[in-house]
Amino acid sequence: MLKGKTALVTGASRGIGRAIALELARQGADIALLYAGNTEAAASAAEEVRSLGARAEVFQCDVSDHDAVKTAVSAALAAFGGLDILVNNAGITRDGLLLTMKEADYDAVLDTNLKGAYNTIRHVAPHFVKRRGGRIINISSVAGLIGNAGQANYAAAKAGLIGLTKSAARELASRGITVNAVAPGFIATDMTEKLPDAAKGALLSAIPLKRMGTAQEVASLVAFLAGPGAAYITGTVVRVDGGLAM
**Is 154 annotated as catalytic?**
yes
Catalytic residue among 35, 118, 154, 232: 154
Q: How far is CA 149 from CA 45, 97, 98, 153, 180, in A?
A: 33, 7, 8, 10, 26
Q: Where are the alpha helices (DSSP H) in the chain?
A: 15-26, 39-51, 66-80, 103-110, 116-131, 143-146, 152-172, 190-193, 197-206, 215-226
Distance in angstroms (rounded) separating the CA atoms of residues 6 and 9 = 10
43 neighbors 17 (Cβ within 8 angstroms)? no
| 107 CB-contact burial (10 Å; exposed 0-12 / middle 13-18 / buried 19+) | middle
Torsions phi, psi of 54, nearest 5?
A: -105, 160
Residue 162: which residues within 8 A CB-CB, separation 6 or more?
Answer: 138, 140, 144, 145, 181, 183, 237
Inter-CA distances, 140 with 49, 89, 92, 178, Å: 24, 8, 12, 16
List the catalytic residues: 154
